[in-house]
Amino acid sequence: MTEAILISILVTVVGAATPILLAGLGELVVEKSGVLNLGVEGMMLVGAVTGFAVTTMTGVTFVGIVAAALAAAGASMIFGYLTLTLTANQVATGLALTIFGIGLSSLMGAGFVGQTVERIGPLFPPALAEHEHLRVLFGYDPVVYFSFAMTLAVAWFLRRTRAGLILRAVGENDVSAHSIGYSVISVRYMAVAFGGAMAGIGGCYYSLVLTPMWAEKLTAGRGWIALALVVFSAWRPMRLLAGAYLFGVVMTLELHAKAAGFEYVPPEFLAAMPYLATIVVLALISMRKSVGSQAPACLGQPFKPST
Amino acid sequence: MLLELEKRKQPSRAMLYLTPVISVLLTMIAGATIFSVLGYDGPGAVWAIFFVPVLDIGAWQDLGIKAAPLILIATGLSIGFRANVWNIGAEGQYVMGGLAGTGIALATWEMEGWWILPAMCLAGAIGGALYAAIPAFLKTKLNVSEILSSLMLTYVSIQLLYFLMRGPWKDPEGFNFPQSRMFSDSQLLPEIGDTFVHLGVPLAFIVAVIAWYVLSKTVFGFEIRVVGAAPNAARYGGFNRKRTIWLALLAGGGFAGFAGILEAAGPYGQMVPQFPTGYGFTAIIVAFLGRLHPAGIVLGALILAISYVGGEIAQSSIGLPNAASGLFQAMMLFFLLATDILVTYRLRFSGARSGGAA
């Protein structure tokens, strides 16, 4: 295989990994605060359609991305209100958010089907971005570098800051955190909003970069893979980064197989691979007994302060 | 003046039955508002989606046909939800049931006999149950979340469907369209009287009655409820959690698979790539709207069927996008989850701090 093919494979892997990395980072923070939001797929779709619509209307991609983050964070607030304030079941509410996101995005996007936007170009000047070798490092769009920066930021936030400590305390033992004076509910609201914003940016990566257009259910279940990725990462940001790129490789197998000239593997089998791989990976992780359950202790439990 | 929540001494039965009704009403109000804001005829949309299908007797047959798979799948899911088993992959189990039954249909092509259709139905139920056995195995042996595994398997089943339709099971006389052969008379569900309502519709209602009996009158139903509501008590009572997980998933998958083959042998009359229509996901809403009770599920399925049929009417009459009915369905679930709090809490106007004022 020539170097050019390897580089082009790498570029597609980065493309596939970036949105699930972003959405996964958001969900990691949400789950660290003790909340399970299964609405990632729905929030990504809301982000995808909003990012596309606003970019089309304003002509400025950056505005589109910000709008995607805000819209998906807004959608996540519906989830937040139902589960945190009204203590509704988190699993059911998350599913409702996904169904809602699918419907809302299809409705909002109905007028945009078939249109295209100019895809986001590389962050660095052509001398670096299009260089024969250096483009491995410098050839990506700004969102890719943003996803790396956010991985480091989330890791630093959770490990090294006081706010991160509070967030983890809320997720591990909400009753104790409450009794020493932290507002469990506000911390969780902020985490849920952050998770929504990150899912929104991840979602609009599909409509603005990967396939610069809008189509119904554009994210094709990647939001669920982002959820699985959080389990895979054992709630650690750096492992989430590694996992996202591993999944990126599996998700682009179809393209690699074509490039390498494989013709006897049915394309449907390759298309099913990311989902099968997710199941296998989840099973393998659960098999390692030493790991135990690393999920935050209060994950998915409603918190009702007994006043 | 502020609204406050005050815990009830015991959950309100009245609210348990009333909140689904309230959420449907709130959905209509919110829907009319949202669609007006988006520039459509909002009240017209609500009228077309929720009332036209009920007032038009010609649409009733459609309602029955749409409600049948929802009743079956939601009844199966409700067994799991009662036991806190979150099978959200019913869509995949529905597809696998359809495929398993289609396999029998293709194997018995050019054959005749009364036994073919029952064999297809049996294969459908077994196909769905076996597919649900995968998450059950992963959950009980390896503690893999059934939420993620069952959902991932849905995407896998859809790819398998595409593969079979484009390859091995493609109709050789189908002008290269990716679809199976048409089922023959021995493989199609008969229609009832002069209607185009197939036999699967009354079957779905009968199954709901049987499920009601099993869930409320047998030890199995009691076990399911106890494991879901009080896992520790269930352990003391000698109920095995793993067995419950298996039963809940096999039942959910079996019902979904049965619904799948009824759709294939009923409205479709063959297997096509468009077979996954989201019934598996809508059934989740039905299960909640019906309060996980078979009788409620029948009503919930009819309401969702109304929104499906109404969505199509609104599409042709006032040009509302097809996605509108999906949005209405999601809002119904949101409002139900939101108003659920009224079952255990009551609203109180604060200001009057005296204990008895409610």
pLDDT in tens, A72-115: 999 999 999 999 999 898 988 999 999 999 999 998 898 888 88
When CB atoms are compared, the residue of B142, B148, B340 closest to A88 is B340
How far A58 CA sits from the closest chain B CA (Å)? 19
Inter-chain touch A278–B340, beta carbons under 8 Å:
no
Q: Supply the DSSP symbol for B3.
A: E
Query: Given a cut of 90, is residue B305 above it in pLDDT?
Result: yes
Chain A residues with CB under 8 Å of B333 CB are 92, 95-96, 99-100
Chain A residues with CB under 8 Å of B49 CB are none
When CB atoms are compared, the residue of A224, A266, A287 closest to B152 is A224
Inter-chain touch B334–A89, beta carbons under 8 Å:
no
Residues 6+ apart with CB under 8 A from A306: none
Q: How many CB atoms lie within 10 A of CB B138?
A: 21
Looking up tokens 């699930």 gives A20
> Which tokens sit at B310?
């109404």
> Which tokens sit at B356?
């008895």
Q: What is the pLDDT of residues B201-254, one digit of tens each?
A: 999 999 999 989 988 888 888 887 787 777 777 777 777 888 889 999 999 999
Chain B residues with CB under 8 Å of A86 CB are 337-338, 340-341
Mean pLDDT calculated for residue range A232-247: 93
Q: Does A280 touch chain B (CB under 8 A)?
A: no
Inter-chain touch A92–B333, beta carbons under 8 Å:
yes
Query: Given a cut of 70, is residue B290 above it in pLDDT?
Result: yes
Inter-chain touch B338–A86, beta carbons under 8 Å:
yes
Chain A residues with CB under 8 Å of B329 CB are 99, 103
How far B258 CA sits from the closest chain A CA (Å)? 24
Choose, out of A38, A83, A85, A95, the residue to mutate when testing the contact with B (most B CBs < 10 Å).
Answer: A95
Inter-chain touch B337–A82, beta carbons under 8 Å:
yes
Inter-chain touch A78–B149, beta carbons under 8 Å:
no
Which amino acid is it at B280? G
Q: Please classify residue B184 by burial: count the beta carbons closer than 10 Å to its beta carbon, then call 0-12 exposed, 13-18 middle and 19+ buried.
A: middle
Mean pLDDT calculated for residue range B241-268: 94
Query: Given a cut of 50, is residue B357 above it in pLDDT?
Result: no
Q: Collapse the DSSP code of B45 into the 3-class scheme (helix H, G, I; strand E, B; otherwise coil) and give the result.
A: helix
Q: Does B152 touch chain A (CB under 8 A)?
A: yes
Q: Residue B7: pLDDT band by 50, 70, 90 thresholds?
A: confident
Chain B residues with CB under 8 Å of A92 CB are 284, 288, 333, 337
Q: Does A110 touch chain B (CB under 8 A)?
A: yes
CA distance A283 to A127: 45
Chain A residues with CB under 8 Å of B323 CB are 102-107, 110, 216
How far A252 CA sits from the closest chain B CA (Å)? 16
CA distance A228 to B212: 35
β-pair partners for B5? B347
Inter-chain touch B138–A104, beta carbons under 8 Å:
no
Q: Which of residues 134-193 of A touch B (CB under 8 A)?
A: none
Query: Given a cut of 90, is residue A132 above it in pLDDT?
Result: no
Q: What percent of chain A has pLDDT over 70?
A: 97
How far B128 CA sits from the closest chain A CA (Å)? 18
When CB atoms are compared, the residue of B155, B281, B323 closest to A272 is B155
How far A302 CA sits from the closest chain B CA (Å)? 13
Query: Given a cut of 90, is residue A285 above it in pLDDT?
Result: no
Q: Which of residues 190-219 of A touch B (CB under 8 A)?
A: 216
CA distance B103 to B165: 12
Q: Which pTM was predicted?
A: 0.91
Q: What is the pLDDT of residues B16-60, one digit of tens each?
A: 888 899 999 999 999 999 889 888 888 988 999 999 999 988 889
**A116 φ, ψ to 5°?**
-130, 160
Give the model's pLDDT for residue B120: 96
Give the model's pLDDT for residue B39: 84
What's the residue count for chain A? 307
Give the model's pLDDT for residue B237: 72
Residues 6+ apart with CB under 8 A from B143: A286
Q: Does B156 touch chain A (CB under 8 A)?
A: yes
How far B193 CA sits from the closest chain A CA (Å)? 37
Give the model's pLDDT for residue A29: 98
How far B273 CA sits from the closest chain A CA (Å)? 13
Q: Supply the DSSP symbol for A237.
A: H
Q: Chain-wide mean pLDDT for chain B? A: 89
Query: Given a cut of 90, is residue B346 above it in pLDDT?
Result: no
Give the up-direction half-sphere exposure of residue B357: CA atoms within 13 A in the CB hemisphere: 9
Check residues A118 and A64 and name the one with the higher pLDDT: A64
Q: Please classify residue B116 by burial: count the beta carbons closer than 10 Å to its beta carbon, then call 0-12 exposed, 13-18 middle and 19+ buried.
A: buried
> Which tokens sit at A192?
């849920």
When CB atoms are compared, the residue of A107, A272, A278 closest to B323 is A107
Inter-chain touch B144–A93, beta carbons under 8 Å:
no
Mean pLDDT calculated for residue range B143-158: 93
Inter-chain touch A286–B326, beta carbons under 8 Å:
no
Chain B residues with CB under 8 Å of A96 CB are 285, 330, 333-334, 337
Q: Does B41 touch chain A (CB under 8 A)?
A: no
Query: Given a cut of 70, is residue B190 above it in pLDDT?
Result: yes
When CB atoms are compared, the residue of B147, B166, B334 closest to A100 is B334
Inter-chain touch B330–A96, beta carbons under 8 Å:
yes
Query: Given a cut of 70, is residue A222 above it in pLDDT?
Result: yes
Chain A, chain B: beta-carbon pairs less than 8 Å apart: 127
Q: Residue B129: pLDDT band by 50, 70, 90 thresholds?
A: very high
Q: Does A232 touch chain B (CB under 8 A)?
A: no
Mean pLDDT calculated for residue range B318-325: 82
How far A275 CA sits from the closest chain B CA (Å)? 5
Query: Given a cut of 70, is residue B340 above it in pLDDT?
Result: yes
Long-range contacts from A257-262, C-beta under 8 angstroms, 24+ separation: A259/A5, A259/A8, A259/A9, A260/A1
Chain B residues with CB under 8 Å of A38 CB are 147
Q: Does A100 touch chain B (CB under 8 A)?
A: yes
Q: Please classify residue A290 by burial: count the beta carbons closer than 10 Å to its beta carbon, then call 0-12 exposed, 13-18 middle and 19+ buried.
A: exposed
Q: Collapse the DSSP code of B6 into the 3-class scheme (helix H, G, I; strand E, B; otherwise coil) and give the result.
A: strand
Q: What percent of chain B has pLDDT over 90?
A: 60
Nearest CA in chain A to B159: A268
Mean pLDDT calculated for residue range B122-144: 96
DSSP H or E segment with residue B207: helix B200-217
CA distance B206 to B208: 5
CA distance B275 to B202: 22
Give the model's pLDDT for residue B341: 84
Query: Given a cut of 80, is residue A229 above it in pLDDT?
Result: yes
